Amino acid sequence: MKVLIADDELRLRKVVSLHLKKSGFEVIEAGNGLAAVQLAEEHSPDVIVLDVMMPEKTGLEACAELKKMDRFKQTPIILLTAMAESEDLKKGEEAGADAYLTKPFSPKELIDIIKSRTG
């Protein structure tokens, strides 16, 4: 299963990527929202994980853009964020996110969410 993870924090991205690979996932990495959309179109991942606060394009913007495309309507998109207010969660839902994970989080928690969203 192919997972695209987009986060502008290189260290966090590498740690999560390592855990995903150890769990048998193929991982594609992006450092910003614009690259995430481009890589998603190029690689058609099974799951997309987006940090909310990123340069070029936020995770919310990237999520909304991807969910407008027919090929990603059914693709689970998980938003990662340090912002956990109800208003932030509402924005994630409006963008089309399938799940919301607040930072700090454990990679196991993310893997469990991915597995629950992909059967």
pTM over 0.85: yes
The confidence score (pLDDT) of residue 67 equals 97
Residue 14 covered by a domain: yes
pLDDT value, residue 23:
95
Q: Give the separation between CA 96 and CA 93, rounded to whole angstroms.
A: 5
Q: What is the pLDDT of residue 90?
A: 85
What's the pLDDT at 25?
Answer: 97
Number of domains into which the chain is organized: 1
What is the pLDDT at residue 40?
98
Euclidean distance between CA atoms 110 and 51, whole angstroms: 12
Mean pLDDT by 10 residues, the chain (119 residues): 96 94 97 97 97 92 96 95 78 90 89 89
Q: Which domain holds residue 73?
A: 2-113
Residue 118, in any domain of the structure: no
Within a domain: 70? yes
For residue 64, is it within any domain?
Answer: yes
Position 58 scores a pLDDT of 94
CB atoms within 10 A of CB 3: 25
CATH number at residue 106: 3.40.50.2300
pLDDT for position 45: 98
